[in-house]
Amino acid sequence: MNGHDDESTWVEHTLVRLGESQFRAKFVLSEADRSYARDKGRHVIDRHAHEMLRARVGEAQPSNDGRQTPWRGHPVFTAQHATATCCRGCIEKWHGIAKGRPLTDAEVNRLADLVMAWIDRDLTNHPARDAVAGARSAQADARRVKAAHAKAPRYVQPEL
C-alpha cells in the first residue's frame, strides 16, 4: 500500500467516525457555499483550505482558540466544524495532534485533505440545481423526440 492509499484510508475512516458524532454530522454546506465552491473550483477551495488552516489553527497558540473559526461564510469554515479542524482543542481530541506546538506542513496537508474530502462529499450529495434541472430537461427532450417520431407518418419512397 502506498502513502496515498494510507491517506485515503485515513480520510475515509475519519469521515465515518465524524459522521457518528451527532454534532459533527449535522453540518452541511449552504446553497451559497456550494455555489461558491463550484464557481471557484476545487483547486481554489483547496488552496483556501490550506491557507485558512495555517492561519487559524496552525500556530502553537492560535488567538481566540476555540472561537477563531466562523460558523459560516465560506465552505471551508463549515467543513472545519464538520471535520473537527476548527480549533486546536478539536484537532487534539479528534486527530491526536497535541496543542502547544505549530502544525507541521504534513499535518496541515492531511487536515486540508480531510476538509476537501468532506466538501467533495457534500457537493456530490447535493448536485447543482442547474445540473439536476439540465438532466431532467434532457430526459424530457428525449421523450418528446421519441413521441414525435412515433406519431410522424412513415416516409414511403415513391416507386419509379
What would the pLDDT profile of 31-59 be if each residue is shown by its tens digit? Answer: 999 999 999 999 999 999 999 999 999 99
pLDDT-derived band at 1 (thresholds 50, 70, 90) equals very low
pTM to 2 decimal places: 0.77
Cα 4 to the center of its chain, rounded Å: 19
Q: Which three cell numbers stand for residue 69?
A: 473559526
- Residues with Cβ < 8 Å from 109, sequence gap 6 or more? 50
CB 23 within 8 A of CB 93: no
Decide if pLDDT at 3 tops 60: no
